[in-house]
Amino acid sequence: MGEAKVNEKAPKKSWFKGLKAEFKKIIWPNKVSATKQTTAVVIVSVILGVLIKVIDMLIQFGLDFIV
């Protein structure tokens, strides 16, 4: 039973080796792809923000009208 605790905690070196191996698997986007994706995210975020604001204003107008 005492031997089970020997390998209970992995050494930090093997953890960093695993981390390095995982980073090598990452396919990083090129500059053009990253720019297009960033632009798409910003545009969609602005559109959703405007849509939420319009819906909020309509609900507020409706509540003000009722009250």
Give pLDDT tens digits for 11-58.
677 888 999 999 999 998 999 999 999 999 999 999 999 999 999 999
Alpha helices in the chain (DSSP H): 12-25, 31-66
Domain-embedded: residue 17: no
Residue 3 clears pLDDT 60, i.e. is over it: no
Q: Is residue 25 part of a domain?
A: no
- Rounded to two decimals, the pTM is 0.60
Q: Is there a domain that residue 20 lies in?
A: no
Give the SS3 label for residue 2: helix
11/17 Cα distance (integer angstroms): 10
- Interatomic CA distance for residues 65 and 1, integer angstroms: 74
Residue 1: inside a domain: no
Expressed as residue numbers, the domain containing 38 is 30-67
CA 24, CA 31: separation in Å to the nearest integer?
A: 19
Residue 52: the pLDDT is: 98
Q: Give residue 14's pLDDT.
A: 87
